[in-house]
């Protein structure tokens, strides 16, 4: 869990923004809720590497240097992450790491980096993805520091099959997430929340997911919308509001998927709804459940769907999803979902993650669900 600069700052991030974000993560309670890694995305580096191939910090935007910034972040009880690309350039066109992996891994370790997001932009010099990502994985293994290795290859070459073998800890499964429900024909690239939910399902990759090797459906857009910096960047089209029900659906599914929770909201403008969604303890507990299972779909009936995942102790998390434009009643039962309690349990305890209500049932699970919304339950023995 953590917070990354990209969705809120795009390519305009500065060292001051990162310091302010570090302070805000502490003040807002995000750090204490588990959002521990503060990751600086693209554009922290100078446009060109030094003559010996090493990275230099961006002279105007990151004047104090990365070691100094990492110290600031560490002093606030957070971990520090950084970004590069497995190509000649980052997506913003700054020179990146291909061919300089060892040198860069050593710089990261020296600076106190705890997490590397490793993107897929720039020229690949005819090297395939496994080769390029293994080069950095091996370099990170050789340095004297534990660095979480986040493979950002967009799912192009099925990284869930080889991510662990190149020492990766998580890998993007899909293209870039937009702050919207569904992509439109005008989008040059990027995916809406429901597009990513569908791709996670179609790719049938839950079996590759688990502790120390996570499928990553991309960062959170909760709290963002058409005005956020990434939505305004070149190539993206976010023109409709990203509704509250849609944002709750987004967070619920990422928790059901046991996905990495990397927030990307603008911490300078934290509103109550965003805070309430991102800091929901029951939802976070479902995300962080020790079994680390990626939930899957159990049932479809038109716009009504039932999804679930097994939790530690045989309990279960359930999502009732309404894809339609009108509110609907959705009903399923404990027999349909991934519940593994002993046969003599005749009565089940249900907690509604979003409104905190608790009740018991002898088997039926039901709710009236808003358009593009969910009901999100935890189910156990009564
Ligand atoms: C790619 C990645 C994004 C972000 C940008 C930065 O698009 O997929 O997550 O890191 O590059 O330029």
Report pLDDT digits (tens) over 340-359: 998 788 899 999 999 999 99
The pLDDT assigned to 164 comes to 98
Q: Which of 125, 124, 107 is nearest to 116 (CA)?
A: 107
Q: Does residue 261 register a pLDDT over 80?
A: yes
Confidence of residue 234 (pLDDT cuts 50, 70, 90): confident
In the predicted model, is pLDDT for residue 190 greater than 80? yes
Tell me the best of 2, 3, 39, 42 to mutate to test the pocket of ligand 1, counting ligand atoms within 8 Å of each CB and taking the most: 42
pLDDT > 90? residue 260: yes
- The per-residue pLDDT for 67 is 98
Alpha carbons 292 and 294: distance in angstroms, whole number: 7
CA distance 7 to 264: 5
Atom of ligand 1 nearest to the CA of 154: 8
**Ligand 1 contact via 41 beta carbon (within 6 Å):** yes
The dihedral through the CA atoms of 168, 74, 108, 190 has a sign that is positive
Q: Is 187 in the pocket of ligand 1 (CB under 6 A)?
A: no
Q: Dihedral sign, CA of 52, 58, 63, 68?
A: negative
CB of residue 229 inside a 6 A radius of ligand 1: no
Name the closest-CA residue to atom 12, ligand 1.
Answer: 91
Residue 42 Cβ contacting ligand 1 at under 6 Å: yes
Nearest to 303 by CA among 284, 322, 285, 317: 322
Instruction: State the pLDDT at residue 98.
Output: 98
Q: State how far the Cα of 362 lies from the Cα of 69, in Å rounded to an integer.
A: 55
Ligand 1 binding pocket includes 91 (Cβ within 6 Å): yes
Q: Is 236 in the pocket of ligand 1 (CB under 6 A)?
A: no
Mean pLDDT of 272-278: 98
pLDDT at site 144? 97
Which atom of ligand 1 is found nearest the CA of 92? 12
Round the average pLDDT of the chain to a whole number and report it: 97
The pLDDT value recorded for residue 96 is 98
Class of residue 123 by CB neighbours under 10 A (exposed 0-12, middle 13-18, buried 19+) = exposed
Q: What percent of the chain has pLDDT over 70?
A: 100
Ligand 1 mutation target, pool 152, 221, 264, most atoms within 8 A of CB: 152
Expressed in angstroms and rounded, the spacing between residue 94 Cα and the centre of ligand 1 is: 13
pLDDT at 339 (0 to 100): 96
Ligand 1 centroid to Cα of residue 173, in Å, is 13
Nearest protein CA to atom 9 of ligand 1, as residue:
176
Mutate to test the pocket of ligand 1, among 44, 94, 176 (most ligand atoms within 8 A of CB): 176
**By three-state DSSP, how is residue 31 classified?**
helix
Give the residue numbers annotated as catalytic, written as ranges: 119, 176
The pLDDT score that the predictor gives to residue 342 is 83
Contacts of 88 (CB under 8 A, 6+ apart): 95, 96, 98, 99, 122, 123, 125
Q: How confident is the model at residue 221 (pLDDT cuts 50, 70, 90)?
A: very high
Per-residue pLDDT at 323 exceeds 80: yes
User: What percentage of residues in the chain have a pLDDT greater than 90?
Assistant: 95
- Model confidence at 189, pLDDT cuts 50, 70, 90, reads confident
The region of weakest confidence among 68-77, 129-138, 223-232 is: 223-232
Tell me, in angstroms, the distance from the centre of ligand 1 to residue 251's CA: 20
236 falls in which pLDDT band (50, 70, 90)? Answer: confident
The atom of ligand 1 lying closest to the CA of 41 is: 10
Instruction: Say yes or no to pLDDT of 259 above 90.
Output: yes
State if residue 283 touches ligand 1 by the CB under 6 angstroms criterion.
no
3-state secondary structure 193-207: HHHHHHHHHHCCCHH
Report the C-alpha gap between 207 and 326 in whole angstroms: 34
Q: What angle do CA 122, 128, 129 make, to 5 degrees?
A: 75
Ligand 1 pocket, residue 92 CB under 6 Å? yes
């Amino acid at each position: 869990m953590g917070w990354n600069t990209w969705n809120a700052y795009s390519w305009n991030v500065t060292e001051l923004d990162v310091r302010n974000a570090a302070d805000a993560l502490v003040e807002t309670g995000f750090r204490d809720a588990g959002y521990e890694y503060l990751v600086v995305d693209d554009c922290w580096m100078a446009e060109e590497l030094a003559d010996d191939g090493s990275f230099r910090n961006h002279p105007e935007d990151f004047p104090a240097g990365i070691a100094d910034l990492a110290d600031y972040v560490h002093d606030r009880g957070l971990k520090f992450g950084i970004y590069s690309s497995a190509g000649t350039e980052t997506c913003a066109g700054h020179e990146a790491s291909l061919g300089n992996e060892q040198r860069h891994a050593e710089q990261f370790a020296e600076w106190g980096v705890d997490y590397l997001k490793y993107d897929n932009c720039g020229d690949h010099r005819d090297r395939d993805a496994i080769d390029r990502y293994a080069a950095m994985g091996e370099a990170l293994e050789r340095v004297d520091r534990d660095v979480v290795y986040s493979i950002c290859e967009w799912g192009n070459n099925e990284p869930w099959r080889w991510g662990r073998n190149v020492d990766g800890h998580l890998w993007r499964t899909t293209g870039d997430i937009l702050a919207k429900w569904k992509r439109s024909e005008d989008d040059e690239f990027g995916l809406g929340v429901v597009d990513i939910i569908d791709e996670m399902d179609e790719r049938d990759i839950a079996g590759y997911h688990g502790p120390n090797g996570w499928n990553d459906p991309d960062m959170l857009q909760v709290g963002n919308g058409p005005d956020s910096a990434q939505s305004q960047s070149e190539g993206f089209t976010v023109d409709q509001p990203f509704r509250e029900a849609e944002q709750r659906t987004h967070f619920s599914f990422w928790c059901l998927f046991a996905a990495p929770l990397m927030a990307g909201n603008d911490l300078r403008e934290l509103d109550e709804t965003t805070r309430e969604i991102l800091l929901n303890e029951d939802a976070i507990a479902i995300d962080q459940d020790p079994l680390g299972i990626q939930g899957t779909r159990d049932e479809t009936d038109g716009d009504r769907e039932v999804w679930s995942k097994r939790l530690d102790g045989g309990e279960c998390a359930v999502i009732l999803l309404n894809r339609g434009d009108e509110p609907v009643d959705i009903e399923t039962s404990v027999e349909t979902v991934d519940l593994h309690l002993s046969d003599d349990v005749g009565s089940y305890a249900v907690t509604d993650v979003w409104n905190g209500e608790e009740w018991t049932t002898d088997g039926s699970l039901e709710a009236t669900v808003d358009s593009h919304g969910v009901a999100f339950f935890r189910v156990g023995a009564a």
